[in-house]
Each structure stands twice: as structure tokens, then as C-alpha cells.
A = this chain, B = another copy of it.
């Protein structure tokens, strides 16, 4: 990845804040954050083992595990120059593997809830405008689409659940948990870099992460409603938003590690979570419409649902722009 030069103003602001807090050595600051996240990881793991596979607390435990895994791997990416490189790269690979393995089950549940909620909302008091007369009662398309989505997403979730349990029972996971347990007490850092002042060593690396985020945000197409707004179905556009989402997470964890305020970053991240959920829900509606031999009324409802979720994604992207770029609300189009 191209590394733009860090924004000097951003680096200076981070450095000032670190100096004010009397943060000390780069190694102290980074070590404290990584140790706290390793502890959170181990807490999530213990919760999961205690809660049993089917308990309601299992979702929280997995969420805790994933949050800590994200933070550790993100921190190792942004501050790679301060860590012991071969250790950092190896651990990061394993943490990314775990995050992916744990993501699907929750995503399937969230997607089903989102799509069924959208069907209810679109049905509203007057009923979804399904093509009446094609297949009996007006709500038939809506009910059939809901049943089809439930069948498909429940099957996917069951598969994801099995994959999660397999991952958490694997020797690969046990090796990773051991590595994180070591991290909770001792963080392998580059001795020379770790001895530097936090404001001199870490601030420029955090600023570089922020600069990468700004460049990705600048590459986004103009807001919906603008003259040159892209088709809402442009897949290249989706991947640029995905990259912004990834870089915003890295920026947020870097700020957290350096003790910065993350209120605005967290709110912007929630907007990006919503746009990703909507984009994926739209894709699930589209995929369900590819089921062979479905009734036209079902396909019609899935089309409505797809377009609705794409519009929800655009709305969440508008929320991000307002939060992050402080752009005024665009006329909705």
C-alpha cells in the first residue's frame, strides 16, 4: 500500500496531546494498549467457554473476541515500525483469520433481521405494493419473500455457526490464544524504537494512518444528489467505501492507543457499519431472487427490497459525510 507522507498538522496535534498527558516512551504507550486488548481478548474467550455454545451470552463473547482481535491487528499494522516485525506480521495474519471466521454468524443474523424489518416497514399500513392478482392475496409476494430469505439466511447462519465452533476448537486457534496470552504480559517491541518518546515515534505513524484515510475519503465519488453521482449499483464504488471503512477502523484504533477522543470516529464508524450492512442485505435480496422457479410476485418483492437497501446504504453514506466531512445534508435523490 502506498504510504502518503503524514499530515504535519495532524502529527503535531497528536504529539502535543501525548506530550501534555506525559505519556512517556513509545513502548510504554503501545505496550499498555496492546496488553489491555490482549486481556479483553482472553476475557471474551473465557466468557465464551463458560457460556457454552448455545447461550445468549455467546454473541457478546464472540463480539468481545472480535473487537479485541481487530484492535490488536490494527495496532500492529499502524505501529508496525515499533513492534518486533516478524512477530507482529505473524500474529496479525492469525488475528485476521480469526476475525473472518467469527464474522459470518453475526452477519447472517443481522442481515435476516434487517431484511425482515425492511419488509415490515415497506408493507406498512397499506401493504407492500406487490403485484396483486398474480398469486392470490396482496401480501403473498411479501410473505413468500420473507419465508425465502429466512430459509436461505437461517441455513447460512447454521453453516457459519458450525464454522465458528470449528475455528474456536482448532489447534490454530489454541496457538493464537497462547500468543495473545503472552502478549497480555509482555509485548515484543523493537528496542530502539520503543525507547523513543511517544510523541516523536507514535504520533507520525498515527498521522500517516489518518492521511491514508483522508486520501481514501477524497477518492469517493460526490454525494448522491450531486451532478456526477454514480449509479447506486456501481460495485467499484462499493469497494471504495469498503476501503474507507477499513481505514477508519485503523485510524480509530490508533487514536484509542494514543489516548485520543474517539467519539466522532466511533459515530462515523457506525454510519459505515450501517452502509455495509445495507449493501450486504441488498446483495442477499438479489441472491435470493436467483432462486430457481420462484413466483414473479416473490421476485418483485425482492427487487423492491434490493432497491430499498441500496437507498438505505446511500442514506448511511450521507450520514458519514455529514459526520466526517461536516458536509451539509444533500437534497435526497
A233-B315 contact given A134-B289, A299-B300, A307-B303, CB 8 Å threshold: no
Max chain B CB contacts within 10 Å: which of A122, A132, A224, A290? A290
A231-B125 contact given A331-B319, A332-B318, A332-B332, CB 8 Å threshold: yes
Q: Which residues of B contact A296 (CB under 8 A)?
A: 289, 294-296, 298-299
Interface residue? A306 (CB, 8 A): yes
Instruction: List A residues 263-321 near B (Cβ within 8 Å).
Output: 282-283, 286-287, 289-290, 292, 294-308, 311-312, 314-315, 318-319
Q: Are B322 and A231 in contact (CB under 8 A)?
A: no
Of the four ranges (under 10, 10 to 19, 20 to 34, 35 or more), the interface on chain A belongs to: 35 or more
Interface residue? A179 (CB, 8 A): no
A318-B304 contact given A290-B132, A296-B296, CB 8 Å threshold: no
Q: Which residues of B contact A125 (CB under 8 A)?
A: 230-231, 234, 236
Q: Which residues of B contact A225 (CB under 8 A)?
A: 315, 332
Interface residue? A203 (CB, 8 A): no
Interface residue? A328 (CB, 8 A): yes
Separation of A124 and B236 alpha carbons in the complex (Å): 12
Q: Which residues of B contact A133 (CB under 8 A)?
A: 290
Interface residue? A188 (CB, 8 A): no
Of the candidates B123, B231, B328, which one forms a contact with A329 in the assembled complex, judged by CB atoms under 8 Å apart? Answer: B328
Q: Are B332 and A315 in contact (CB under 8 A)?
A: yes
A126-B236 contact given A303-B302, A329-B329, CB 8 Å threshold: yes
Instruction: List A residues 15-74 near B (Cβ within 8 Å).
Output: none
Q: Which residues of B contact A301 (CB under 8 A)?
A: 303
Max chain B CB contacts within 10 Å: which of A132, A283, A333? A333
Q: Which residues of B contact A283 (CB under 8 A)?
A: 129
Q: Which residues of B contact A308 (CB under 8 A)?
A: 307
| Binary B-proximity of A221-240 (CB < 8 A = 1, otherwise 0) | 00011000011111110000
Interface set of A (CB-CB < 8 Å, partner B)? 121-129, 131-134, 224-225, 230-236, 282-283, 286-287, 289-290, 292, 294-308, 311-312, 314-315, 318-319, 322, 328-333
List 5 A-B pairs, minimum CB-CB distance, nearest first.
A124-B231, A303-B303, A332-B332, A307-B307, A296-B299
List 7 extra interface pairs beyond A311-B332, A315-B332, A329-B331, CB under 8 A.
A122-B233, A125-B234, A127-B233, A132-B290, A134-B289, A299-B300, A307-B307
